[in-house]
């Protein structure tokens, strides 16, 4: 892990072990790396992306970084502010609605067309939830959120479609930008562990219809919760 101290938050970039970026153009490697660090919560909504520091962290030229940031801007993950620079995007209530509309289509589709669920997919989902439980035991709530996102990513991966996988990765990054961080993060993340476990238990029993109902209930509840955050002022020390 590398990091630079910014005005309000250390700029940190991690290289995930699961990430294979070989053979991709340089700008695409950097854009995927930055997107993955949004999903993991290293880069948060509203954070400034200082060009010199970020290029050093990503081991890239500034020209390559600029091209990668333009790519992320097209994905709706960063914004340019005149005379101020590039910032991780801050989403709003309309984004919540759109993100969950897309999630319902992809995740429910994945459970509908994959029956029975293979042991391979079940094991991968179980590993993500085991990691989430361990992170919760360690009070690492940001990691809990990351593993929950990976669990839902593994649902979509059952469709076996690279385009869906790429699209859903962007959705996950946008979703992470809506997550609570700071003092309220524990209360925000804790309910999802049991709900994810319920979905996995039903899938393990090959009860696809019941798992779909549980997933839809999960998504409805999550959308309501995130939408509500835009209607209530934040407590001191919290951000979304």
The pLDDT of residue 228:
85
Judged by DSSP in three states, 141 sits in: helix
Q: What mean pLDDT is reported for the chain? A: 89
What is the Cα–Cα distance from 148 to 159, expressed in whole angstroms? 19
The pLDDT of residue 91:
92
How many helices (H) and strands (E) in the chain?
A: 9, 6
- Cis peptide bond N-terminal to 116, omega within 30: yes
More confident of the two residues 233 and 140 = 140
Using the predicted structure, report yes or no on whether residue 35 has a pLDDT greater than 50.
yes
C-alpha separations of 151 from 2, 129, 138, 224 in Å: 26, 7, 19, 20
Using the predicted structure, report yes or no on whether residue 198 has a pLDDT greater than 50.
yes
Across 207-236, average pLDDT = 83
The pLDDT of residue 156:
97
Determine which of 31-40, 49-58, 66-75, 185-194 has the lowest per-residue pLDDT on average.
Answer: 185-194
pTM confidence score: 0.88
More confident of the two residues 155 and 235 = 155
Determine which of 47-56, 103-112, 180-189, 194-203 has the lowest per-residue pLDDT on average.
Answer: 180-189
The pLDDT of residue 181:
60
The pLDDT of residue 22:
85
Provide the pairing of β-strand 10-13 with 2-5. Answer: antiparallel
Determine which of 7-16, 101-110, 135-144 has the lowest per-residue pLDDT on average.
Answer: 7-16
Q: Which helix (H) or strand (E) holds 2?
A: strand 2-5
Burial of 171 (0-12, 13-18, 19+ CB in 10 A): buried
Q: What angle do CA 143, 146, 150 make, to 5 degrees?
A: 140
Closest by CA position to 129, among listed 147, 114, 111, 112: 147
């Amino acid at each position: 892990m590398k990091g630079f101290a910014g005005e309000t938050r250390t700029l940190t970039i991690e290289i995930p072990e699961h990430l294979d970026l070989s053979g991709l153009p340089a700008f695409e490697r950097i854009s995927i790396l930055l997107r993955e660090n949004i999903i993991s919560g290293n880069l948060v909504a509203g954070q400034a992306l200082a060009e010199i520091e970020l290029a050093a962290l990503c081991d890239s030229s500034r020209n390559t970084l600029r091209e990668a940031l333009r790519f992320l801007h097209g994905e709706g993950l960063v914004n340019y502010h005149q005379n101020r620079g590039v910032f991780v995007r801050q989403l709003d209530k309309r984004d919540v609605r759109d993100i969950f509309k897309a999630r319902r289509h992809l995740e429910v589709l994945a459970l509908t067309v994959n029956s029975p669920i293979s042991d391979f997919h079940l094991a991968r989902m179980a590993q993500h939830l085991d990691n989430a439980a361990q992170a919760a035991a360690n009070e690492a709530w940001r990691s809990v959120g990351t593993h929950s996102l990976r669990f839902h990513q593994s649902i979509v991966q059952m469709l076996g479609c690279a385009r869906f996988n790429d699209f859903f990765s962007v959705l996950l990054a946008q979703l992470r930008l809506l997550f609570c961080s700071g003092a309220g993060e524990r209360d925000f993340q804790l309910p999802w562990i049991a709900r994810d476990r319920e979905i996995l238990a039903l899938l393990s029993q090959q009860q696809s219809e019941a798992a779909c109902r549980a997933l839809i209930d999960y998504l409805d509840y999550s959308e309501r919760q995130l939408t509500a955050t835009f209607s209530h002022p934040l407590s001191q020390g919290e951000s979304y």
